[in-house]
Amino acid sequence: MADIQAMVKEPALANRTFGVISLLGNDQAQFIENRLREAIGEEEMLKRKIICGDAYAFQGDERDIIFLSMVVADNVRFQAQVRKDAKQRFNVAASRAKNQLRLYHSVDLKDLNPDDLRYRLLNYCLNPHRVMEQVENAEALCESRFEKEVLRMILAQGYRVRPQVQVGRYRIDLVVEGLKNRLAVECDGDRWHGPDRWEEDMLRQQTLERAGWTFWRIRGSTFYRDRKKAMESLWRKLEEMGIEKEAQLNEAETPGKTEELQVSLHPPEKNTSGPETTDNQTKAPSSEEQAFLFDLTATETEFLTLFANRKEVPTHQVMDFARSQGLMLRKLIDDINEKAVDHLGDLLLHEQGRNYVISEEWVDVVLV
């Protein structure tokens, strides 16, 4: 209330229109409207075209500045907003401002479920520039407008996406990443994909599928005919594969939950049978080796700790680890080797008899 009272007196905002949206509903909006009318008067309400209501009161309408209320009383219990109708309501509410959106909230991120739409809205408002920079940086890597638009829709759903991912001698348009899984998204623009290119793409896909990759493809004509419908099968696929959204990944990657990963990325000196090493004798990892270690997922890093103080591990132990994580052993090995090829230029792991062995050249990179 105080903000609006102050802003109507600002010369720079003399011609700006205002709107107040309550995410709690019409009762709160009506309360705000009554208080506001008492505070600034009917004339100012009309001059500013002020409407107070829920999101649907602004359907098809906009204001220069929107004041968005996400305030709940301390003694009121609230449920996570995750349903489809809630998503539509939040989308309308967050897109009604032409110039400025001001969010008023009584809960913090720590109080909310990462799947809650309130979490996503608050997280965006707290870090708007970071979000836009991430989107712009990702878009800059895309090769076509079609890829950019698919990328935006995936990001809007809250997933983590990497464009133009190099895998050996191949590149993948977009990769949606989770903690333990990932999906390759290929954008087949009709302008660029003739019969010859299609055959080449299918051969590339088959090769990568043998290495454990899963693909989802979309044609430009299908996308532009009905974007929402065209992307529905992707959302189902991501859910089936258990690929988490960005908020869930951030929760899993907090310092308290990644202590093991941090330790393994910055290993202590390894114990050898030779003379004891000192700090100034330890070889610092190269930039390529560091890039490889940081590209590993938490599960892949944990897997490599099996090789602590030894360069080979019995196959049955390796298989037991993969089963405990619900993963296919071949896919786990292939994923690590792909990253090794990308960053180190060679395979890291190979099967030798009844053991899995780390290539001699890269023993120092992962052994602790």
**SS3 call for 351:** strand
What single-letter DSSP state applies at residue 368?
Answer: -
Tell me, what's the pLDDT at 283?
45
CB 368 within 8 A of CB 264: yes
CATH at residue 211: 3.40.960.10
Distance (Å) of CA 119 to CA 110, 123, 315: 9, 6, 44
Q: Kindly state whether residue 169 falls inside one of the protein's structural domains.
A: yes
pLDDT at 274: 41
Q: Which of the listed residues 81, 110, 126 is the one where a domain comes to its end?
A: 126
Handedness of CA 311, 316, 322, 327 (dihedral sign): positive
262 within some domain: yes
Asked, for residue 311, whether it belongs to a domain, the answer is yes
Same domain, 216 and 306: no
Q: Is the dihedral of CA 348, 351, 353, 355 positive or negative?
A: positive
Residue 147 counted as domain residue: yes
| DSSP character string of 320-335 | HHHHHTT--HHHHHHH
Q: What pLDDT, on the 0 to 100 scale, is given for residue 251?
A: 53
* Last-in-domain residue among 84, 101, 126: 126
In a shared domain, residues 238 and 295: no
* Radius of gyration, CA atoms only, the chain: 26
Q: Determine contact, residues 285/365, Cβ cutoff 8 Å.
A: yes
pLDDT score for 73 = 60
Specify the pLDDT at position 173.
92
**Are residues 118 and 145 both part of a single domain?**
no
The reply to whether 297 and 193 lie within a common domain is no
User: Containing domain of residue 172, as a range?
Assistant: 131-246
Q: What is the CATH number of the domain that holds 30?
A: 3.40.50.300
Query: Does residue 106 share a domain with residue 53?
Result: yes
- Output the pLDDT for position 89: 85
Q: How many domains does the chain have?
A: 3
> What's the pLDDT score for residue 252?
52
> Residue 363: what pLDDT?
65
Cβ count within 10 A of residue 10: 9
Question: Has residue 155 been placed in a domain?
Answer: yes
147 & 39 share domain: no
Residue 278 included in any domain = no
Beta bridge partners of 166: 171
Q: How many helices (H) and strands (E) does the chain have?
A: 17, 11
CB 95 within 8 A of CB 70: no
Whether 276 is in a domain gets the answer no
CA 208 to chain centre: 23
204 residue type, one letter = R
Are 94 and 121 in contact by the 8 Å Cβ rule? The answer is yes
pLDDT value, residue 254:
42
CATH value at residue 350: 1.10.10
Q: Are residues 114 and 13 in the same domain?
A: yes
Last residue within a domain, chosen from 108, 126, 144: 126
Residues of the chain with pLDDT under 50: 253-284, 367-368
- Mark whether 93 and 150 lie in a shared domain: no
Residue 112: its pLDDT value, please? 80
275 within some domain: no
For residues 115 and 209, state if they share a domain. no
